Structure 1
Amino acid sequence: PAAIRFYEEVMGLPLAIDQGWSKIYRVTETGYVGLVDETRGSHRAHPVKPVQLCIRVRDVDAWYGYIAEQGVAALKEPRSHQELKIRAFVFDDPEGYQIEMQSALD
């Protein structure tokens, strides 16, 4: 499926646990994200995606350049948010879930 290819090939996340219809990917040493077959998991797919995955990175602008080269959907340019002390951009994964990549402002 497109989501598996996206998280493995575009995001570069290593598969930590393969349970067949549930795939768990390592984001950090202690952080993971799971993809579950919507016909088998406890939640069904829905056109409204009320979840955002936020990933903190060292260089948000470098990540933006990389993600832009991959041609992902709904990519927004990085913006600095002084109140939150972050610089961030968002885009959608192949299933329509929003991902935010952010770095701390110095």
Structure 2
Amino acid sequence: MPRPDAPNTLAITFFYYRDLPAAMAFYENILGLPLAIDQGWCKIYRIADGAHVGLVDESRGMNKWQAVKSVQLCIRVPDVDAWYGYAKEENLPNLSDLFVNDALGIRAFVFNDPEGYQIEIQSATREGA
């Protein structure tokens, strides 16, 4: 049987939390992401067209909370400098300096969400990056 070739309609990356309400408050109030799908113990927030992050109560999800996070959520924005100023004012945990990666063609910074997932905010520094 051949692989289906219909276009994908949605992408969701799931993160697992011990304190779902705190995670929800962060993604809604600090990052400003709109709630797209409310499944009760799983809240799915829209990042961009077709791209979403799902916050899951680890007591109910398919996976469990882990102390060491091996994933990073990266969000590309039009103005990384404005976001960096906002992040400094909000005193976000583990906020890095603003940095440039010429090899990747980005300006970016990172910080952690309430349970230690790293979030990178970036802008492209060149076309096609």
TM-score after normalising by structure 2 = 0.80
- The amino acid across from 1:87 in the alignment is R
Tell me whether 1:11 sits opposite 2:31 in the alignment.
yes
- Partners of 1:68 and 1:94 lie apart in 2 by 16
Instruction: State the shift of 1:71 in Å.
Output: 1.6
Q: Tell me, what secondary structure is at the counterpart of 1:90?
A: strand
Alpha-carbon distance between aligned partners in 1 of 2:85 and 2:46, rounded to the nearest angstrom: 22
Deviation at 1:70? 1.2
Count of aligned residue pairs for this structure pair: 106
Match runs of 1:25-104 below 5 Å: 25-104=45-124
**Unmatched segments (≥5 aa) in structure 2:** 1-20
CA distance in 2, matches of 1:6, 1:16: 15
Normalising to structure 1: TM-score of the pair?
0.97
For the aligned residue pairs, the C-alpha RMSD in angstroms reads 0.7
Q: What is the identity percentage for the equivalent residue pairs of Structure 1 and Structure 2?
A: 61
Give the Cα–Cα distance (whole angstroms) in 1 for the partners of residues 88 and 51 of structure 2: 25
Deviation of 1:69 after TM superposition, in Å, equals 1.1
Instruction: Name the SS of the counterpart of 1:27 in structure 2.
Output: strand
Structure 1 unmatched ranges of 5 or more:
none
Q: Which amino acid aligns with 1:42?
A: M
Displacement over 4 Å in runs of 4+? none
What code does the residue aligned with 1:61 have? D
TM superposition shift of 1:26: 0.5
